[in-house]
Amino acid sequence: MRGAVLLGDRKVEIREFPDPEPGTNQVVVRMKASGLCGSELHALYQVESELRRGTRTWGYIGGHEPAGVVEKIGPGVEGLKEGDRVVIYHIQGCGYCKYCRSGWMLHCPNAKRSYGWDINGGHADFILVNKENCVPLPEELSFADGACCACCTGTAYQALRRIGVSGRDRFVAFGLGPVGLSGVMLAKAMGAEVIGVDPIAERRELAKRLGASIVLDPTQVDVVATVRELTDQEGAEAAADFSGNPQARNQALDCVRIWGRVAFVGEGNLTTINPSPQMLHKQLTVVGSWVFGLWELKELLDFLVRHKLHPDQMVTHRFPLEEISKAFQVFDEGRTGKVMIEWQ
């Protein structure tokens, strides 16, 4: 089979690998859709190869947003059969610690490994996965829908669930890349009125299509003042920063009202805040939210079906595996929605 390895220095190489065979409790999935994620763009594609060489994430097939069809079943696998449509939860663990037992392999201290990072991922014709990582993909959803949920839409879902977004809220989303766009779509479905904030016009347009009633360019308007004007000077009920930008993080804290709720989702960057006026005196609930648990992936897929939502609406570019270098180049330019590798 073919598999794409991210080499750093903005290089991707397609190599030949043996077709995987499933061992006990393992499944081989024929790939149908594999999303490109901002995290692999930064950490595996843009990074200098010298920084990566010899690290545990060196040399594996990339791609941690896989969806496809079960091709082969190993001994001991029950409840899955050849031909089943599945999304892959992209983190595996020891299976025995309290985190693995509760579907939070993300926090497994013993044997955590992630597909596309330190085991072979989805940018390949086939992926070998543990049976418990396969989550059934409902017929109503496309493979690209499923691939979005495997990382970015799932990450947005946890954040919104943690701050309890509902129809009582004006919700402000800072950063309208694929995670933020997912946040816009989900918050709208949860009943909130959504304000989207991003300096890139293409992304603001996508946010409008996905349900934002107002979009703001932070380079042109005072975001906090505008949100206050829109909310009788009190501020929004809830906000999330999906950008990791220090200014956006501060604005997320400052644009919500007393008793407001804020989720920090975007990664990286040191940020200076003043907790007394920005958080304490406003009685804020501020949560850090990182990826999501296995059970939440199942819950999210059901939510999408019930609300007739399709995260593949934010896919702006689709490529076959042989054009993955071009896919990363386009994604690297930073003006896209979701970029997806697809198989016929």
Contacting residues toward Zn ion, per CB under 5 A: 37, 39, 93-94, 97, 100, 108, 110, 151
What angle in degrees, to the nearest 10, is found between the helix axes of 152-162 and 143-150?
60
Coil vs helix vs strand at 289: coil
Report how far apart the first and last C-alpha atoms of the chain are (Å, whole number): 15
Nearer to Zn ion, 205 or 332 (CB): 332
Phi first, then psi: give them for residue 245, nearest 5 degrees.
Answer: -75, 130
Min. distance of Cβ 93 from Zn ion in angstroms? 4
Q: Rounded CA gap, 167 and 163, in Å? A: 13
Nearer to Zn ion, 108 or 134 (CB): 108
User: Pairing state of beta strands 26-35 and 66-73?
Assistant: antiparallel
Contact by Cβ (8 Å): 267, 39: yes
Nearer to Zn ion, 183 or 218 (CB): 183
Nearer to Zn ion, 44 or 253 (CB): 44
Nearer to Zn ion, 26 or 251 (CB): 26
Nearer to Zn ion, 178 or 260 (CB): 178
Count the Cβ atoms, other than its own, within 10 Å of residue 24.
Answer: 9
Min. distance of Cβ 203 from Zn ion in angstroms? 17
Q: Rounded CA gap, 261 and 108, in Å? A: 28
Min. distance of Cβ 297 from Zn ion in angstroms? 13
Residue type for 277, please?
P
Min. distance of Cβ 222 from Zn ion in angstroms? 32
H/E run at residue 223: helix 223-230
Min. distance of Cβ 148 from Zn ion in angstroms? 10
Min. distance of Cβ 304 from Zn ion in angstroms? 18
Nearer to Zn ion, 73 or 179 (CB): 179
Residue 61 DSSP label: B
Specify the length of the chain in residues: 344
Min. distance of Cβ 162 from Zn ion in angstroms? 18
Residue type for 83, please?
G
Q: Give 85-135 as a 3 state SS string.
A: EEEECCEECCCCCHHHHCCCHHHCCCCCEEECCCECCCCECEEEEEHHHEE
